[in-house]
Amino acid sequence: MAFVSSGYNPAVPMENRITDIGPRHFEEFYPPVIKANKGKWLYHEIIEPGVLVHVAESGDEVYTVRCGGARLMSGTLIREICDIADKHCDGYLRFTTRNNIEFMVDSKDKVEALKADLKDRKFAGGSFKFPIGGTGAGISNIVHTQGWIHCHTPATDGSGTVKATMDEMFTDFQDMRLPAKLRIAMACCLNMCGAVHCSDIAILGYHRKPPMIDHEYLDKQCEIPLAIASCPTAAIKPAKHELPDGTKVNSLAINNERCMYCGNCYTMCPSLPISDTEGDGIVLMVGGKISNRINPPKFSKVVVAFIENEMPRWPTMTQTIRRMVEAYASDARKYERVGDWAERIGWERFFEKCELEFTHHLIDDFRDHAYYTWRQSTQFKF
Amino acid sequence: MAKHETPLLDQLESGPWPSFVSDMKLEAEVRAKNEAGIEFQIPVDVVDDLMGVLELSYVHGRTHWKHGGIVGVFGYGGGVIGRYCDQPEMFPGVAHFHTVRVAQPAGKYYKADYLRQLMDIWQMRGSGMTNMHGSTGDIIFLGTRTEQLEEIFYELTHNLNTDLGGSGSNLRTPADCIGSSRCEFSCYDTNALCHFLTNLYQDELHRPAFPYKFKFKFDGCPNGCVASIARSDMSFIGTWKDDIRIDQEAVQAYIGGEIAPNGGAFKGRDWGAFDIQKEVIDLCPTECMWMEGKELKIDNKECNRCMHCINAMPRALRVGQDTGLSILVGAKAPILDGQQMGSLLAPFVEVNPEDDYAAVTEVIESIWDWWMEEGKNRERLGELIRRAGFQKMLEVTGIKADARHVSEPRCNPYIFWKEDEVPGGWERDVKEYRKHHKR
C-alpha cells in the first residue's frame, strides 16, 4: 500500500487550495427531457407501484421507476446503479429525499426493459438490489441514521432495525393498499437526526440508565459547564470527587432521580458514557406528519415506552409495527394518515385497536407543555 | 474467506429488502480481489473490520466508536466527522473511520460518469462505503483515515469541481425537493434557490460562526417532500396568492371514473368509485368548495392551500400562477427544550432570481444578525425565539404582526407593553399618587 499523492503538498498546505465552490450545478445532471420541460409539467400519474409518468405542456413524457435503496451502500453497488443508468437512461439518475433511487426514461417503451433488468438483480444472500416500489398509499423507504455503523451515542442500530422492518413490511413497499401514505423513520438516539419526530411510525433508540461518571478523566476531557448546561432536567451539578488514591478532582454529580437518560451530557462530555446492553432499546412513536394536506403537520407521539434490543432482527419491534399498520389499514378512512385516524377515534381507542398496553411512561411530564396533553374534558370513550 | 465470523449480521442477508450486509460483503470481496488494480490508501480489509466491529456491537448491544473526533481540512472548520474505533487492535482497519460530507447537487440528480469519478476517489482513498444520502442531504463518504482527508479534498476540488458539505455550528448543507424540475405542484424553482443560497453562503457553511447549527430546506409546495417544516431552522415552502386553476372537463373525467384519483395512489385497494363530494369537497379543511351543477367551484379567498384537492385531482386542478414562498422558522429536534416545527414568519415572499432573491436573503440575514448576537451557546434559533419571544423576531425582521402569525391568540393576560405605547410612560411619582389615595 504505497502512498499516492493527489497533488496536495503538505509542506505548503494553503498553496493551490480551492475553497468555497459548493456543489456541482444541478443542470449538468438533468436528463434532457427534464431540462426541456422544467416548470412546464401538467400532471402525473402512478402507473403501477414504483412507476410514475409526468406529462408536460409540450406533450413530452418522463417515466420514473423508483427503487428501494439501503442508504448505506458500497461503491461497487453505486457503479452498478451507474451501469443501469447508462444502459437504459443515457446515464442519468437521481435519489429521492427518502433515499430511494429513481431511474427516468423518456418513453413508455423503455420502461419494461428497465423494470425487467432491475427485478433480476439480487445480492448473493438473495435480497433484491433494486426492488421497485415506494409510491402512493404504501410504505416507502425508512429515513434512518448511523447506529452502530458509525455513531458514538446510539442506543440501538440503524441499518439493522431498518432492514428487519422493511423485510416485515416489504409487500407494502410494492403495494398501495393503505388509506394514505405511511412514513416510517428511525433514529438511534433522541437527537432524532432525521424525521422521527414527524413520521407516521417512528423507531427511536433509548437508554434507561443514568450515565456512568469517569471521575478520573472528567475534568481533563470535558468543559464542565457545558455538561451542566446540556441537561434538559437540570440533573447535573458540579462536584468535587475524591479518587481512591486520595486525589481530589473537579467533577460532576448526577441526580439519578432527575435524569431521564437522554444522553445529551455524553454528547458534550466523553467522561459520561451511557450505553448499556440491557438498559438500551427502542421507543415507538406514531401519528406525526409534515405535509399540510387537510390537517396541519403533527408531531409523533410515544405509544410504546420500551422494547428491548433483540439483535439481529428485533422481532418484538417489527411485530408491534405490523400490528399498528394492520389496525390502521383496516380501520382508517381513505386519505387519513395514522395521526388523523388516531385523533378521530381517540387515543384510548387507538391503544385498544393496536393492542398496545398504556403505561405511565406515556404521560407527558416535561415542563408546562405536559398539562396541555392531559385530558381537560369529560369526553372519553369506555 | 471472511476475516471475521458474523453469525448475527449474516441473518440480515435474507429477506427481500436490499441487505446492507450483503452489500458490505460485496465491497469487502471486491477490495480483496482488487481486479481493478487499485492502490488502496487505507487498509484493504477496512470493510471486513467494519463488519467485525458491527457484529461485536450486535453481541454487546452497545456502540464501539469512541466519543467524538476532531479532524478536517485546512481553511474549513467543518465537513468531516472524525471517528475512532474503541477496539483498534481487534479491528485495525477501522481504527480511523472518519466520514466526509460531500456537497450534493440540488434535487440529487446525477450522471453516471460523475458518480463513477466520485467512487474512483473514494474506493481508492476511503472504505468505498457510502450513505446515499445523509439526512441533511450530503453525499456521505463513510470511513477513511486522517492522512487521506486533504488528498480527498484536493481531488474533489481540483478534479471534480466539488466541495465539502457542512458540519458543526454553522450553516449546514441546504437541501430541496425535486421542485419544478419534475413536479407540477412546485410553486418555485427549488433547485435554483437551493443552489444559489448554498453558493451565496459558502463562508457561513464552511467556517462555523454561529451559536449552533442552522439548516435551510426548500419545499416547492405545502406537501413538504423535503420536510422543511420539521427539519430546517428556516423552511421555505412554495405557495400561491391567486386562484386554483380548474379544468372543468377534467373534473368531469374524474367524476366519470376516467381518471383515477390522486394520480392512482390508491390503486392497491378497491375504495369504490370516486366520489368528489366525499373525497374532496367534504374533506376540504375550510369547506370552501362545492358543485354547482356540473361545475366545481372554489371560494379561493377562503382556501388555505392545503393541497388536498390538487393532490386528489392533479389533472383537473393546478396551483395558481401568482406564486412565491412562505418562510417558517425554528424547527428542531427535542434537545434541549423540546421538539419544534417551523412557525410561520413571512406568509408570502417573492422568489425573484433576477434580483438575486433579495426578498429571501433579506429575511435570512436579519434573522442571522439577531441570532448570532443574542443566541446562547448551543441554542437553536427555535429556542431563542421561545426565550426572547416571537415578537422580538418580528421586530428584527421588520415584519408586522398579523393574525396569520398565530394558530390562536394568547389566553393568558400577561401582556408586555413597550413604554412608549402607554401614555405618560412608566416614570411615576408615588407622592403625586398619594395626594389622591391616602395610605
The secondary structure element, H or E, covering residue A338 is helix A338-345
Distance in angstroms (rounded) separating the CA atoms of residues A213 and A254: 9
Q: What is the CATH number of the domain that holds A63?
A: 3.30.70.3340
b/e B73-91 (16+ beta carbons within 10 angstroms → b): beebbbbbbbbbbbbeeeb
pLDDT score of B436: 98
Chain B touched by A336 (CB under 8 Å):
no
In chain A, whose CA is at the least distance from the CA of B51?
Answer: A149
Match domain B7-159 to its CATH number in 3.30.70.2860, 3.40.50.1010, 3.40.50.450, 3.30.70.2500: 3.30.70.2500
Q: Which of B64, B227, B318 sits opposite A290 (nearest CB)?
A: B227
Question: Of A120, A150, A176, which residue is a domain's last?
Answer: A120
- Which residues from chain A sit within 8 angstroms of residue B119, using beta carbons? 75, 78-79
- Which residues from chain A sit within 8 angstroms of residue B112, using beta carbons? 81-83, 85-86, 91-93
CB B359 within 8 A of CB B352: yes
**What is the grid cell recorded at B358?**
433579495
ipTM exceeds 0.90, yes or no: yes
Domain span(s) for CATH 3.30.413.10 in chain B? 175-239+325-419
Distance in angstroms (rounded) separating the CA atoms of residues A263 and A270: 11
**What is the grid cell recorded at A158?**
440503524
Question: A184 and A230 share a domain?
Answer: no
pLDDT score of B2: 83
Measuring CA to CA, which residue among A57, A15, A18 is closest to residue A38? A57
Question: What confidence tens digit (pLDDT) does each residue in B289-332 have?
Answer: 999 999 999 999 999 999 999 999 999 999 999 999 999 999 99
- Which residues from chain B sit within 8 angstroms of residue A54, using beta carbons? 182-184
Question: A302 and A351 share a domain?
Answer: yes
pLDDT digits (tens), chain B, 439 positions: 689 999 999 999 999 999 999 999 999 999 999 999 999 999 999 999 999 999 999 999 999 999 999 999 999 999 999 999 999 999 999 999 999 999 999 999 999 999 999 999 999 999 999 999 999 999 999 999 999 999 999 999 999 999 999 999 999 999 999 999 999 999 999 999 999 999 999 999 999 999 999 999 999 999 999 999 999 999 999 999 999 999 999 999 999 999 999 999 999 999 999 999 999 999 999 999 999 999 999 999 999 999 999 999 999 999 999 999 999 999 999 999 999 999 999 999 999 999 999 999 999 999 999 999 999 999 999 999 999 999 999 999 999 999 999 999 999 999 999 999 999 999 999 999 999 999 9
Question: A222 and A201 share a domain?
Answer: no
Domain span(s) for CATH 3.30.70.20 in chain B? 245-318
The residue assigned the cell 395512489 is B265
- Residues of chain A numbered 5-34 and touching chain B (CB < 8 Å): 5-8, 10, 13-14, 16-26, 28-31, 34
**What is the grid cell recorded at B245?**
386553476
Q: Which of A23, A31, A160 sits opposite B104 (nearest CB)?
A: A23
Kindly calculate the radius of gyration of chain B based on its CA atoms and give it in whole angstroms: 27
Domain presence at residue A12: no
Q: Which residues contact A340 (CB under 8 A, 6 or more apart)?
A: A180, A294, A295, A332
Q: Which of B18, B22, B59 sits opposite A68 (nearest CB)?
A: B18
Of the CA atoms within 13 Å of residue B15, those in its CB half-sphere come to: 25
Chain B touched by A234 (CB under 8 Å):
no
Question: What confidence tens digit (pLDDT) does each residue in A42-92 have?
Answer: 999 999 999 999 999 999 999 999 999 999 999 999 999 999 999 999 999
Question: A303 and A363 share a domain?
Answer: yes
Question: A74 and A175 share a domain?
Answer: no
Domain presence at residue A30: yes
- Residues of chain A numbered 41-60 and touching chain B (CB < 8 Å): 41-49, 52, 54
CB B253 within 8 A of CB B316: yes
Q: Which domain holds residue A91?
A: 26-120
The two beta strands, B323-329 and B139-142, are unpaired
- Which residues from chain B sit within 8 angstroms of residue A118, using beta carbons? none
CB A307 within 8 A of CB A250: no
Compute the nearest-CA separation of B367 from chain A (Å).
23
- Residues of chain A numbered 135-174 and touching chain B (CB < 8 Å): 135-138, 143, 145, 147-154, 157, 159-160, 163-164, 166-167, 170, 173
Domain presence at residue A125: no
Q: Going along A37-173, which residue ranges are E strands? A: 41-48, 51-56, 61-67, 72-74, 92-95, 101-105
Q: Which of B111, B153, B216 to mutate to test the interface with A (most CBs of A within 10 A)?
A: B111
CB B77 within 8 A of CB B153: no
Fold of the B245-318 domain: Alpha-Beta Plaits (3.30.70)
Q: Which of A73, A195, A229 sits opposite B130 (nearest CB)?
A: A73
Q: Please answer yes or no on whether B58 and A157 come within 8 Å at the CB atom.
A: yes
Task: State the total domains in chain A.
Answer: 3
Question: A193 and A318 share a domain?
Answer: yes
Q: How many contacts (CB atoms, under 8 Å) link A and B?
A: 461
Question: What confidence tens digit (pLDDT) does each residue in B46-77 have?
Answer: 999 999 999 999 999 999 999 999 999 999 99
Question: A204 and A286 share a domain?
Answer: yes
- Residues of chain B numbered 68-127 and touching chain A (CB < 8 Å): 68, 74-76, 81, 83, 97, 99, 103-116, 119, 122-125
**What is the grid cell recorded at B389?**
419571544
- Which residues from chain A sit within 8 angstroms of residue B135, using beta carbons? 143, 145, 193-195
Chain B touched by A276 (CB under 8 Å):
yes
The two beta strands, B317-318 and B295-298, are unpaired
pLDDT score of B1: 62
Q: What is the CATH number of the domain that holds A309?
A: 3.30.413.10
Domain span(s) for CATH 3.30.70.2500 in chain B? 7-159
Fold of the B175-239+325-419 domain: Sulfite Reductase Hemoprotein; domain 1 (3.30.413)
In chain B, whose CA is at the least distance from the CA of A24?
Answer: B105
Residue A314, class by beta-carbon neighbours within 10 Å (0-12 exposed, 13-18 middle, 19+ buried)? buried
What is residue A237's three-state secondary structure?
strand
pLDDT score of B340: 98
β-bridge mates for residue B329, sequence order? B234, B343
CB B330 within 8 A of CB B337: no
Distance in angstroms (rounded) separating the CA atoms of residues B382 and B389: 10
What is residue B44's three-state secondary structure?
coil
| Whether residue A373 has pLDDT greater than 70 | yes
